[in-house]
Amino acid sequence: MPSDSEAVVRRWFAEVWNDAKVETIHELFATNAVAYGLAEGGADDVHGPQEFEKFVEAFRGQIQDFRIDVDDVVADGEKVAARWTARGKYIGTLFGPGKGQKVCVTGMTFAEVVDGQIVKGWNNWDIMGMAQQLGAKPPMVTMLLD
């Protein structure tokens, strides 16, 4: 049986990312919560539900039919680790030139859940792999070829 913290994280992925329920952001992401490692617009973290809502909107503007499948979850009290796979169709310009390309990217999220809300989230995802799927050259390859 999943822990309460695990249930919060699973619900987060299902409702926020897969069902695009904005109200769930405001319910499950604490007012003073911080999500690290999202790298949106050059910033490294997102603070509070309002900023996270803007991040999700901007991300969804780049990827159509976006879906995250949670592959594994490990919970220990307030800490939850989730390994996931995300898929969608790239329709933007932020991540590279491959507009219209289907993408698949893996990542991991570690969350701290207190009183039924996420208070911190650490995110690590394969943005380089996604860029390569879209036809962008990794910076190191570009540097070596120049």
> 80-126 pLDDT, tens per residue?
999 999 999 999 887 778 889 999 999 999 999 999 999 999 999 99
Q: Is 142 helix (H, G, I), strand (E, B) or coil?
A: helix
> 1-56 pLDDT, tens per residue?
567 999 999 999 999 999 999 999 999 999 999 999 886 555 679 999 999 999 99
Distance set, CA 127 to CA 27, 68, 86, 140 (Å): 28, 15, 11, 14
Domain covering 4-145, topology: Nuclear Transport Factor 2; Chain: A, (3.10.450)
What is the spatial distance between Cα 27 and Cα 24, in angstroms, rounded to a whole number?
A: 5
* Domain regions of the chain by residue span: 4-145
Q: What is the mean predicted confidence (pLDDT) over 127-146?
A: 70
> 67-87 pLDDT, tens per residue?
999 999 999 999 999 999 999
pLDDT (0 to 100) of residue 2? 61
* pTM of the predicted model as reported, rounded to 2 decimal places: 0.87
